[in-house]
């Protein structure tokens, strides 16, 4: 069968998935709230059963580089590959989890096209994990729900050196916005209704960031604060972020693009105030902030902010209308030819 798993990006509430997860240790922490939506770019694959091995073929979007993995469906071999890290570790980690919890054979996966940018806050690794989880689910008729696929994809990813949060696997829901609520190990999901089209632009900043460093610094602020920086991080990822995110839920379901833009700008301002001191080398992000405040694009946007873990990886904007969406892309790619823009209409 053919499968397509999109990338996902976080409209509001970045980092609140793992922060809310710390409630299992410190119940005084607030729940985490995030709005996630799929993209129109992702990972395409054909999948079929294999009697004894996990076989994974993958190619870049232009087909110029191809990679392959072939491992026996044995827990030791899969775990060793997962713990090595790297591109194939994600597939091996998910296969390890399915072999642990289900009676399954192997898979042959041909990832013949990937048009999703890698390491840009669009959860390319989670998309691979969900792809493998969905393949096992459907090939072996395991009857998992979407949340079940997300759970095993998450378990597979944290089998690798990756320390992702639980929002990444929301790409399993496809190109629709959802509200995710994180309460310790529990996740609640609400699908959002959008009454009219909202026009976004996602911009690959063509710069660099270190997500693992950002996560390491911010996780040092949990579960119990030791200083003012820690308290500020917990304050933003708790009550401040949750209020902005829940306001954004209402704005999205009312189709109020201008309000969404104002909330994006507010979220970025508060993020900078409270979180930059915790990881200044990564979160000062001069490229991101230059683009967010770049004067020629201001007439065409309601607002913008960083994506994912933030840093100089990716920016998101909400455009005033469809024509403004294209004009925004034209200006950015004309004035910053190294950057790459993606249209997203919700």
Query: Would you list the domain boundaries of the chain?
Result: 2-191, 199-345
**CATH number for the segment(s) 199-345:** 3.30.70.890
Strand partners, 203: 315, 341
| CB distance 248 to 192 below 8 Å | no
Residue in this structure with the two tokens 């069968």, named with its chain if needed: 1
- Alpha-carbon separation of residue 306 from 56, 276, 301, 312, 314 (angstroms): 33, 13, 15, 8, 6
- Report the pLDDT averaged over residues 41-52: 94
Task: Please report the pLDDT score of residue 65 as a whole number.
Answer: 52
For residues 120 and 85, which has the higher predicted lDDT (pLDDT)?
85
Confidence of residue 41 (pLDDT cuts 50, 70, 90): confident
Q: Does domain 2-191 have CATH number 3.40.50.150?
A: no
For residues 7 and 165, which has the higher predicted lDDT (pLDDT)?
7
53-67, 92-106, 162-176, range with the lowest pLDDT: 53-67
Strand partners, 331: none
Cα 259 from Cα 280, distance rounded (Å):
29
DSSP assignment, residue 286?
A: H
301 membership: H or E segment, kind and range: strand 301-306
- Three-class DSSP category at 317: strand
The tokens describing 309, both together, are: 């873990």
For the ranges 164-178, 187-201, 291-305, the maximum mean pLDDT occurs at: 291-305
Cα 167 from Cα 154, distance rounded (Å):
9
211-224 residue pLDDT tens: 889 999 999 999 99
Judge whether residue 63 has pLDDT over 70.
no
What percentage of the chain has pLDDT greater than the value 90?
78
């Amino acid at each position: 069968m053919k499968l397509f798993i999109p990338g996902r990006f976080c409209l509001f509430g970045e980092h609140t998935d793992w922060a809310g997860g710390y409630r299992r240790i410190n119940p005084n922490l607030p729940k985490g709230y995030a709005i996630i939506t799929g993209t129109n770019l992702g990972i395409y694959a054909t999948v079929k059963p294999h009697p004894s091995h996990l076989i994974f073929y993958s190619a870049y979007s232009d087909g110029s580089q191809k990679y392959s993995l072939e491992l026996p469906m044995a827990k030791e071999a899969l775990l060793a590959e997962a713990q090595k890290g790297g591109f194939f570790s994600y597939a091996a980690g998910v296969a390890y989890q399915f072999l642990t919890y289900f009676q399954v054979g192997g898979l042959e996966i041909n990832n013949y096209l990937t048009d999703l940018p890698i390491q840009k806050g669009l959860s390319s690794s989670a998309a691979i994990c969900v792809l493998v989880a969905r393949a096992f689910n459907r090939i072996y008729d395991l009857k998992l729900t979407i949340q079940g696929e997300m759970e095993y994809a998450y378990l597979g990813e944290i089998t690798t050196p990756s320390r992702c949060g639980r929002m990444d696997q929301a790409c399993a829901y496809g190109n629709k916005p959802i509200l995710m609520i994180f309460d310790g190990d529990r996740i609640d999901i609400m699908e959002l209704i959008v009454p009219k089209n909202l026009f976004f632009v996602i911009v690959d900043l063509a710069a660099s960031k270190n997500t693992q460093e950002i996560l390491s610094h911010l996780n040092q602020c949990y579960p119990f604060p030791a200083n003012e920086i820690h308290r500020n991080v917990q304050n933003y990822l708790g009550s401040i972020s949750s209020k902005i995110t829940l306001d954004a839920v209402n704005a999205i379901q009312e189709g109020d693009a201008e309000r969404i833009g104002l909330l994006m700008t507010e979220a970025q301002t508060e993020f900078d105030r409270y979180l930059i001191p915790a990881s200044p080398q990564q979160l000062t992000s001069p490229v991101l902030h230059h683009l967010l405040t770049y004067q020629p694009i201001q007439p065409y946007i309601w607002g913008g902010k960083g994506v994912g873990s933030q840093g100089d990886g990716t920016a998101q904007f909400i455009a005033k209308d469809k024509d403004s969406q294209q004009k925004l892309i034209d200006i950015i790619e004309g004035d910053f030819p190294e950057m790459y823009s993606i249209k997203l209409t919700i």
